């Protein structure tokens, strides 16, 4: 389960809680929103190394652990997947030693810790050839509504050995607004935007001048 | 028989019954022959007219022959296009003065009714006059969603729903202005309810029109009613919940509407349907059915916070920008995807059967996630419609 999904689970759960408990849930969930694409287990590992002061006001993590336990019972009855339950267990376990820490204090410290862990990733991103990405982005956007022209640019992109997986992924994020895990998947997403437009045109051509009335 | 024989017959009849009686008999025979001839002529005329109407009907719904073989034609509702606007009133001026929001999409399950009822609820808070919500979907979701107690809105036995009378032209402007059925918890939301009889009414009206002399254009029945001064002055805005098909009622709604809002889910099949629908509305607009209708935009509904909808949104925007004139033109650049989005929320499910979610969900946790986007959408619609 990704951090984003776990955060959404807590949002949905907070909808059925009393105002006070919902506020506690909302104070806790920014931890997972801060690492939306990271695995919950990985986030939990980072949480175990958080240095949070035990003093401060507000509800303690102990209450949050209780809410997570209630959520787990609810999900068990609902027949939730084992992975979701395991993720809940992982989070509850890692919170155990911090049960007397105020939730908000812990959340702030955890977000800071998560951002430190993300730093190595950022340095990798900086190696991407932005000029190459921008050049292809511009050409693909220009060719988007021209079936033949787009195919030419796309073939060039596909066969360009200087476009590595990182460049292709960044290009797919910029051009197709979707994230890919590999070069091939990124190219599929890029072609997918073009194919969707061509598909839309084909449907309209098949329907020209007629209505479904 | 020779003429001489006829005179002989006349003399014989005169001598038999007397001359005066014979004259009376002759007059009666002549009258009978004239009557039979007249009736025969009427029958022949009627048969000719019927044959012509039947031929026209077959032409209107019939297939056309192309070099590739026969194909379906442009459809019944585009018959007689360019469509003449009603002559009984000044249609362009009335449209300009009216505020009638059509919430439509030819795809089902995209949140049309939720958008309609939510907007009606929000408008009832901020607009001075009552809101008229018209349910033109025979499944009656808007009626059911707005009025908690079914007994309060289901048509009594032997009576048709209000929507049937509405599209049949049976209601007067004063009837509509005086609608008494209102939403649970909001007396300022008046509702024209529908039910399954509406489906039959739609078929009846369509077939009547197909075979009639078409002296009255039934496509504008609803327009004539809602554009009247009486109805216009009675409500701040009229919101029409359309069915997920271009039915008779939907066609009447398009002809009556001044603004169009298209709800959609952010997933591929739904967004594809949006493009087709926009193009079809554009075909109707150009044919003269709804020449002044204004697009407010496409509103995303049931947006799941777990989902990354940016890719789908981008592809929808691409297709909406694709000009109608281009080969296989798409949305025609006549509408746009709005920033406002209605989120997916358990609140809509939890309040089902209790009234309009926006009104009955109270102030508990999670309500702001629903309330705020609805208010934002209402604000956008209010601005576009100059309410």
* CA-only gyration radius of chain B, Å: 29
Whether A178 has its CB under 8 Å from any CB of chain B: the answer is: yes
Contacts A5 to B, Cβ<8 Å: 306
Same structural domain, A86 and A151: no
> Checking DSSP bridges between strand B186-192 and strand B182-183, what pairing results, if any?
antiparallel
Q: Give the CA-trace dihedral at A137, A140, A143, A147, to 10 degrees.
A: -170
**Rounded to whole angstroms, what are the CA distances from B176 to A182, B162, B172, B222?**
61, 10, 7, 11
Same structural domain, A104 and A141: no
Whether B328 has its CB under 8 Å from any CB of chain A: the answer is: yes
Whether B279 has its CB under 8 Å from any CB of chain A: the answer is: yes
- The stretch A5-18 carries a mean pLDDT of 83
- The stretch B316-322 carries a mean pLDDT of 86
Burial class of B132 by CB neighbour count within 10 A (0 to 12, 13 to 18, 19+) = buried
From-to residues of CATH 3.40.50.300 in chain B: 85-385
B284 contacts A189? CB cut-off 8 A: no
For A24, nearest residue in chain B (alpha carbons): B365
Whether B79 has its CB under 8 Å from any CB of chain A: the answer is: no
Distance to chain A for B59, nearest Cα, Å: 15
Task: Evaluate whether residue A37 is within a structural domain.
Answer: yes
User: What is the CB neighbour count within 10 angstroms for residue B329?
Assistant: 20
- Per residue, what are the HEC states of A135-182? HHHHHHHHHCCCHHHHHHHHHHHHHCCCCCHHHHHHHHHHHHCCCCCC
Same structural domain, A164 and A187: yes
- The stretch B369-376 carries a mean pLDDT of 93
> Edge to edge, what strands does the sheet with B182-183 contain?
B182-183, B186-192, B131-135, B237-241, B100-103, B259-265, B294-303, B337-343
Q: Is the peptide bond before A129 cis (omega within 30 degrees of 0)?
A: no
Angle at B103 between CA B99 and CA B104, to 5 degrees: 135
B246 contacts A19? CB cut-off 8 A: no
Backbone angles phi, psi at B238, to 5 degrees: -110, 130
Burial class of B315 by CB neighbour count within 10 A (0 to 12, 13 to 18, 19+) = buried
Distance to chain A for B318, nearest Cα, Å: 7
Which residues, including other chains, have CB under 8 Å from residue A208's CB and lie 6 or more apart?
Answer: B328
Same structural domain, A105 and A147: no
Whether B164 has its CB under 8 Å from any CB of chain A: the answer is: no
Contacts A192 to B, Cβ<8 Å: 311, 315
Task: Evaluate whether residue A193 is within a structural domain.
Answer: yes
**Rounded to whole angstroms, what are the CA distances from B368 to A163, B217, B237, B342, B371?**
45, 46, 25, 12, 5
Whether B72 has its CB under 8 Å from any CB of chain A: the answer is: yes
What pLDDT is attached to residue A199? 86
Which among A124, A140, A155 is the end of a domain?
A124
Same structural domain, A93 and A7: yes
For A36, nearest residue in chain B (alpha carbons): B306
Which residues of chain B form beta strands (DSSP E)?
Answer: 63-66, 69-72, 100-103, 131-135, 182-183, 186-192, 237-241, 259-265, 294-303, 337-343
Residue with tokens 């030419």: A152
* CA-only gyration radius of chain A, Å: 23
User: What is the CB neighbour count within 10 angstroms for residue A138?
Assistant: 12
Question: Predicted confidence band at B166 (pLDDT cuts at 50, 70, 90)?
Answer: very high
- Tell me the pLDDT tens digit for each residue of B193-236: 999 999 999 999 999 988 888 888 999 999 999 999 999 999 99
- The stretch B41-57 carries a mean pLDDT of 92
d(CA B317, CA B275): 10
What pLDDT is attached to residue A120? 47
A178 contacts B310? CB cut-off 8 A: yes
For B73, nearest residue in chain A (alpha carbons): A210
Same structural domain, A76 and A156: no
User: What is the CB neighbour count within 10 angstroms for residue B92?
Assistant: 10
Mean pLDDT of chain A: 84
Which among A68, A94, A124 is the end of a domain?
A124
Write out the H or E segment, with its range, that includes residue B141. helix B141-146
Tell me the HSE value of B3 on the side-chain side, using a 13 A CA sphere: 0
Burial class of B330 by CB neighbour count within 10 A (0 to 12, 13 to 18, 19+) = buried
Copy the structure tokens of residue B293.
């209708």
For B107, nearest residue in chain A (alpha carbons): A212
Which residues, including other chains, have CB under 8 Å from residue B36's CB and lie 6 or more apart?
Answer: none
Q: Which of A5, A144, A210 sits opposite B318 (nearest CB)?
A: A144
Same structural domain, A39 and A76: yes
Whether A179 has its CB under 8 Å from any CB of chain B: the answer is: yes
> What DSSP letter does each residue of B366-386 carry, written as one string?
THHHHHHHHHHHHHHHHHHHT
Contact predicate A43/A114, CB 8 Å: yes
Which among A124, A149, A169 is the end of a domain?
A124
Same structural domain, A73 and A172: no
Whether B364 has its CB under 8 Å from any CB of chain A: the answer is: yes
Q: List the domain range (segments joined by +) for residue A191.
A: 130-207
Least confident range from B80-84, B327-331, B378-382: namely B327-331
B251 contacts A19? CB cut-off 8 A: no
- Tell me the pLDDT tens digit for each residue of A151-199: 999 999 999 999 989 899 999 999 999 888 899 999 999 999 999 988 8
Whether A169 has its CB under 8 Å from any CB of chain B: the answer is: no
Q: Give the CA-trace dihedral at A27, A31, A36, A41, to 10 degrees.
A: -130
- Tell me the pLDDT tens digit for each residue of B92-120: 999 999 999 999 999 999 999 999 999 99
Return the higher-pLDDT residue of A169 and A4: A169
d(CA A119, CA A78): 38
Whether A172 has its CB under 8 Å from any CB of chain B: the answer is: no
Highest mean pLDDT among A35-49, B166-180, B302-316: B166-180
Contact predicate B319/B330, CB 8 Å: yes
d(CA B99, CA B115): 17
Q: What percent of chain A has pLDDT over 70?
A: 93
> Checking DSSP bridges between strand B186-192 and strand B69-72, what pairing results, if any?
unpaired
Copy the structure tokens of residue B209.
């029109």
- Chain B 237-276, CB below 8 Å of chain A: which residues? 245-247, 250-251, 268, 272, 275-276
What pLDDT is attached to residue B330? 57
Same structural domain, A81 and A179: no
- The stretch B5-9 carries a mean pLDDT of 85
- The stretch A18-33 carries a mean pLDDT of 81
Contact predicate A96/A65, CB 8 Å: yes
Q: What end-to-end distance do the CA atoms of chain A give, in Å?
A: 45
Whether A207 has its CB under 8 Å from any CB of chain B: the answer is: yes
Same structural domain, A78 and A14: yes
**Rounded to whole angstroms, what are the CA distances from A153 to A147, A162, A178, A189, B42?**
10, 15, 20, 15, 73
A202 contacts B328? CB cut-off 8 A: yes
A8-19: b or e for each residue (b if 16 or more CB lie within 10 Å)? Answer: bbbbbbbbebee
Q: What percent of chain B has pLDDT over 90?
A: 61
Whether B347 has its CB under 8 Å from any CB of chain A: the answer is: yes
For B247, nearest residue in chain A (alpha carbons): A213
**Rounded to whole angstroms, what are the CA distances from B209 to B48, B57, B224, B287?**
18, 9, 17, 18
Contact predicate B264/B110, CB 8 Å: yes
d(CA B268, CA B311): 10
Q: Which of B276, B365, B369 sits opposite A203 (nearest CB)?
A: B276
Closest by Cα among B140, B130, B212 to B169: B212
Total structural domains in chain A? Answer: 2
A197 contacts B310? CB cut-off 8 A: no
Q: Which of B276, B311, B322 sits opposite A145 (nearest CB)?
A: B322
ipTM rounded to 2 decimals: 0.73
Distance to chain B for A130, nearest Cα, Å: 21
Three-class secondary structure of residue B87 per DSSP? coil
pLDDT surpasses 80 at A123: no
pLDDT surpasses 50 at B122: yes
Same structural domain, A110 and A176: no
Same structural domain, A49 and A89: yes
B366 contacts A22? CB cut-off 8 A: yes
> Checking DSSP bridges between strand B69-72 and strand B63-66, what pairing results, if any?
antiparallel
What pLDDT is attached to residue A121? 45
Distance to chain B for A176, nearest Cα, Å: 6
Whether A203 has its CB under 8 Å from any CB of chain B: the answer is: yes
For A202, nearest residue in chain B (alpha carbons): B328
Q: Is the pTM of this model over 0.90?
A: no
Task: Evaluate whether residue A213 is within a structural domain.
Answer: no
Determine the residue among A1, A2, A211 to mutate to test chain B binding: the one whose Cβ has the most chain B Cβ atoms within 10 Å. Answer: A211
**Strand-pair partners of B203:** none
Q: Give the CA-trace dihedral at B156, B160, B164, B170, to 10 degrees.
A: -110
- The stretch A113-136 carries a mean pLDDT of 70
Q: Which of A11, A145, A177 sits opposite B305 (nearest CB)?
A: A11
**CATH T-level fold of B85-385:** Rossmann fold (3.40.50)
Contact predicate B265/B301, CB 8 Å: yes
Task: Evaluate whether residue A212 is within a structural domain.
Answer: no
Q: Which of B106, B310, B366 sits opposite A14 (nearest CB)?
A: B366
Contacts B362 to A, Cβ<8 Å: none
Distance to chain B for A213, nearest Cα, Å: 5
Which residues of B226-266 form beta strands (DSSP E)?
Answer: 237-241, 259-265
């Amino acid at each position: 389960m990704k951090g984003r999904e776990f955060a959404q689970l807590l949002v949905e759960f907070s909808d059925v809680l009393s105002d006070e408990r919902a506020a506690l849930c909302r104070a806790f969930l920014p931890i997972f929103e801060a690492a939306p694409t990271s695995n919950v287990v990985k986030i939990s590992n980072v949480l175990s190394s958080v240095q949070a002061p035990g003093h401060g006001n507000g509800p303690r993590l102990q209450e949050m652990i209780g809410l997570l336990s209630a959520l787990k019972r609810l999900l068990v009855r609902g027949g939730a997947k084992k992975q979701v339950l395991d993720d809940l267990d992982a989070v509850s376990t890692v919170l155990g030693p911090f049960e007397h820490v105020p939730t908000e204090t812990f959340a702030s410290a955890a977000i800071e810790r998560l951002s430190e862990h993300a730093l190595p990733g950022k340095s990798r991103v900086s190696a991407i050839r932005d000029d190459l990405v921008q050049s292809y982005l511009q050409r693909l956007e220009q060719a988007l509504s021209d079936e033949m022209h787009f195919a030419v640019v796309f073939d060039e992109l596909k066969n360009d050995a200087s476009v590595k997986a990182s460049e292709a992924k960044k290009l797919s994020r910029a051009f197709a607004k979707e994230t890919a895990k590999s070069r091939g998947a990124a190219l599929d997403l890029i072609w997918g935007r073009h194919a969707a437009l061509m598909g839309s045109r084909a449907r309209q051509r098949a329907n020209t001048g007629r209505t479904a009335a | 028989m020779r003429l001489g024989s006829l005179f002989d017959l006349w003399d014989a009849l005169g001598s038999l019954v007397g001359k005066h009686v014979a004259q009376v008999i002759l007059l009666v025979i002549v009258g009978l022959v004239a009557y039979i001839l007249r009736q025969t002529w009427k029958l022949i005329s009627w048969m000719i007219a019927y044959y012509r109407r039947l031929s026209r009907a077959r032409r209107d719904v019939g297939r056309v022959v192309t070099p590739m073989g026969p194909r379906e034609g442009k459809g019944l509702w585009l018959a007689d296009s360019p469509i003449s606007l009603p002559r009984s009133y000044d249609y362009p001026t009335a449209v300009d003065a009216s505020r009638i929001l059509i919430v439509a999409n030819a795809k089902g399950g995209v949140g049309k009714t939720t958008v309609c009822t939510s907007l009606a609820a929000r408008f009832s808070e901020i607009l001075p006059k009552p809101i008229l919500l018209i349910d033109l979907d025979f499944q009656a979701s808007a009626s059911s969603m707005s009025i908690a107690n079914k007994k309060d809105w289901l048509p009594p036995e032997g009576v048709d729903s209000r929507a049937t009378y509405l599209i049949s032209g049976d209601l007067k402007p004063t009837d509509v202005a005086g609608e008494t059925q209102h939403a649970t918890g909001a007396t300022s939301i008046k509702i024209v309810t529908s039910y399954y009889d509406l489906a039959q009414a739609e078929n009846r009206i369509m077939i009547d029109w197909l075979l009639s002399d078409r002296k009255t254009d039934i496509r504008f029945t609803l327009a004539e009613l809602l554009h009247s001064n009486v109805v216009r002055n009675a409500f701040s805005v009229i919101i029409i919940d359309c069915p997920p098909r271009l039915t008779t009622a939907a066609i009447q709604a398009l002809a009556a509407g001044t603004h169009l809002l298209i709800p959609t889910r952010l997933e591929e099949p739904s967004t594809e349907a949006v493009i087709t629908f926009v193009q079809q509305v554009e075909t109707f607009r150009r044919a003269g059915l709804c020449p002044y209708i204004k697009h407010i935009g496409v509103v995303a509904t049931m947006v799941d916070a777990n989902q990354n909808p940016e890719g789908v949104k981008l592809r929808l925007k691409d297709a909406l920008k694709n000009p109608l004139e281009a080969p296989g033109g798409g949305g025609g650049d006549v509408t746009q995807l709005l920033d406002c989005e209605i989120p997916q929320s358990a609140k809509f499910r939890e309040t089902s059967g209790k009234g309009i979610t926006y009104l009955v969900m109270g102030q508990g946790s999670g309500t702001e996630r629903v309330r705020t986007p609805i208010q934002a959408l209402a604000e956008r619609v209010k601005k576009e419609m100059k309410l």
